[in-house]
Structure 1
Amino acid sequence: MADGRPRVLYTDPPWLASGDGADPALATVETEVLGPGVELAFGRREGGRYLLDGPDLAERARGARVLVVYRCKVTPELLDAAGPGLRAVVRQGVGVDNLNAPLLAERGLPGYNVPDYCVDEVSAHTSALALSLERAVVPQHQGLTGGAFDIYAGGVPRRTNRRTLGVVGFGRIGRAVAARLGAFYGRVLVYDPYIGRDLPEGYGAQAVDDLDELLGQAHMVTLHCPLNDETRGMFDAAALSRMRPDAYLVNAARGALVDPEGLGKALEEGRIAGAGLDVFFPENPHDDPRWAPVLAHPRTVVTSHRAFLSEEAEDSSRRRVAEAVAQALAGRPVRVGRVLPDPEGAA
């Protein structure tokens, strides 16, 4: 606040990326909502990527009243750099694993996300990955553009209305997937230990008490659970071995739900039929050689973590985050997307 204005740091906003930083001229939504009375600061980029830690980021965080993170992980060093004037941390997205809620709770800082801005997009993208696998769209495309006209390239598809969809995690997106993608399947099973058994009935689905029960019956398994200590790596070699050999796995939730080595071996050995992935851990799968067999396998469909993306979703996310920032600066509670309670005296 060198000039008296509260400072807000956007650590890694991809929609503002330009060269080695962020172009303030592109921050039209943020400027419109927050106005000239707020100093906007942005992270630095090198080699086409934002610096997500280190002294440069710490210097830019110094004196910030609010931090807005995207892929950047909230760490003690980042909070220490911001200093005692920090009032809140906002995640520009749905997932909260990098928001580091335990650390924020320890520091008495409220954390927020935007939990529902891309339900339409992610459920549509999940359906697209699933149906691409079912109809062998990728091998058909590659074969035809490569000069071969072959209706059997990629194998003979199956009739989906005689098959079972399994939805793991029944939050906002899981419910939308059950309603949308479930229309193509004859039966929809749901596994989520944190909901009542009756809730899936309202979406034309049936709850199961055990993940293994779902894995043993579903021909298409889609993941929609949060990433935490309970779910990290839950789809490892053991879980994948309990899937049907003719089942597909689709993950547009969090990359670390799936173990890359286990998935690669399951694909290579034909223990599952294929996989559709929009998310990886690390974020870029080319940064970890364990993903190479998965990316190269002919029965995979992969995209670059863009299931959430649309012009409308991006605009909504930016606007709602800026509104949350404005409320935090004013000392008012943020009602939607509150990951942690507002600490007493936060204003």
Structure 2
Amino acid sequence: MTESRVLYTDPPWLIENGALDLALATVEADVLGPDVRLLTAPYEDGRYVLTDHRLLERAAGADAVVVYRCQVTDALLDAAGSGLRVVVRQGVGVDNLNADLLAQRGLPGYHVPDYCVDEVAVHTSALTLALERRLIPQHQSLTEGTFDIYAGGVPRRVSRRTLGIVGFGRIGRAVARKLGTFYDQVLVYDPFVGRDLAEGYGARAVDTLPELLAASDVVTLHCPLTPRTDGLIDEAALRAMKSDAYLVNAARGRLIDPEALGRALAGGWIAGVGLDVFAPEDPHRDPRWKSVLAHPAAVVTSHRAFLSQEAETSSRRRVAELLRDALAGDLGDHVGRVLPIGAAR
């Protein structure tokens, strides 16, 4: 049998103790078998190299490409060649999968839309409650030698407050179920979801984003990154929020304008922010995030809301099973087929 080549561009689960180790691909080996050769981008100085000719050389002759945070481009697809059968994103979001380009090339594209719903909803809740209960300043004060119940200020009673959810897909609904139990009411803004659905989750739909922002004491973001949502939370949106409201984002970094967010924190337009995502991925590479990261009312994590042992194993196995079927010429009815923007769904 001819050996198939599968390029996993930047899989984090192959890194252990700062080194790339293909022997860690146990799930993939179990599903795909010995006739599939796994390749990755070069790994140097603590990161995958995704921006030079060496990635394209690794892609040459690939039967399948799996991206994590690598962007799907013309150059990558050209390098893979005419034998490329499928492109998969090992994750929920699809903005880097470039569905429109794949459609132009006649290539099927997939992601894993539902493997980490519980994890992201829990992480969103953790960021929110850390802000509400002022956990970070309390921790810092106590570990630095001061016992002070008032460090970070006096929290509010959340059972009298309103939670606002922007985007009511799988994760937004899970957040309504989990985090919503702490709040007096839950508002939802999602122009693609019927109003009655929100009521089934104990929430109330509103017609506009400004309406939600003005009424909510906490705003959590769960919408995909599209041309419509890129920069959704800009200066106007932040000024529309209550001055004692919190903003939480575990969806996509580009939903928020970092410069506007920095001004909002410095100017007291909002009370604080919880972030798990940034654009670029590492916010230290963009000076626009510096003031946000340094602000005492910010709680930040390194894009790990999706992470658990169970979720990672599930996503790896599901991707490998999809690859196995694609290489066998039988994609079947796999969940997660991605269509270009504007296509019928």
Question: The TM-score by the shorter chain falls in which range?
Answer: over 0.9
- Quick one: which of 243, 265, 268 aligns to 2:266? 268
Match of 2:343 in 1: none
Match of 1:345 in 2: none
- How far does residue 19 in structure 1 lie from its aligned partner after superposition? 7.8
The alpha-carbon deviation at position 272 of structure 1 amounts to 0.2
**Contact 2:249 2:274 (C-alpha < 8 Å) held by counterparts:** yes
Output aligned runs, 1:1-347, within 5 Å. Answer: 4-17=2-15, 22-333=20-331, 334-340=333-339
- After superposition, the C-alpha distances for 1:138-165 in whole angstroms (9 at most, x for unaligned) are 0000000011111111111000010000
Query: Match for 1:157: what amino acid?
Result: P
TM-score (norm 1): 0.96
Is there any run of 5+ residues in structure 2 with no aligned partner, and where?
341-345
Residues 100 and 339 of structure 2 are in contact (CA less than 8 Å); yes or no, is this contact kept in structure 1?
no
Structure-2 change in CA distance of 1:21 and 1:40 (3 Å): farther
For 1:93 and 1:113, the matched residues in 2 are separated by 6
Q: Which secondary structure does the structure 2 equivalent of 1:332 belong to?
A: coil
Q: Matched residues, percent identical?
A: 69
- Distance of 1:220 and 1:304 partners within structure 2: 21
> Which position in structure 2 is the counterpart of 1:344?
none
* Secondary structure, aligned partner of 2:112: coil
AA of the residue aligned to 1:53? T
Superposition RMSD in Å: 1.2
Unaligned runs of 5+ in 1: 342-347
Provide the rounded CA distance (Å) in 2 between the counterparts of 1:127 and 1:299.
Answer: 16
Deviations 1:143-192 (A, max 9, x none): 00011111111111000010000000000000000010000000000000
Give the Cα separation in 1 of the matches to 2:138 and 2:237: 30
Q: CA-to-partner distance for each residue in 1:69-96, whole Å, 9 max, x for gaps?
A: 0000000000000000000100000000
> C-alpha displacement at 1:30, in angstroms?
0.4
CA distance in 2, matches of 1:329, 1:45: 26
Deviation at 1:249, TM superposition (A): 0.1
Distance in 2 between residues matched to 1:155 and 1:252, nearest whole Å: 25
> In the aligned structure 1, how far is the partner of 2:101 from the partner of 2:268?
42
Deviations 1:6-26 (A, max 9, x none): 100000001102588631210
In structure 2, distance between residues paired with 1:30 and 1:283: 26
**What is the distance in 1 between the residues matched to 2:209 and 2:329?**
43
Q: How many residues align?
A: 339
| C-alpha deviation, 1:54, in angstroms | 1.7
Alpha-carbon distance in structure 2 between the residues aligned to 1:22 and 1:44: 9
Residue by residue over 1:29-62, the C-alpha shift from the partner in whole angstroms, topping out at 9 and shown as x without a partner, is 0000000011111111111110113210000000
Q: Distance in 1 between matches of 2:17 and 2:214?
A: 49
TM-score normalised to structure 2 length: 0.96
Instruction: Indicate conservation of the 8 Å contact 1:117/1:317, yes or no.
Output: yes
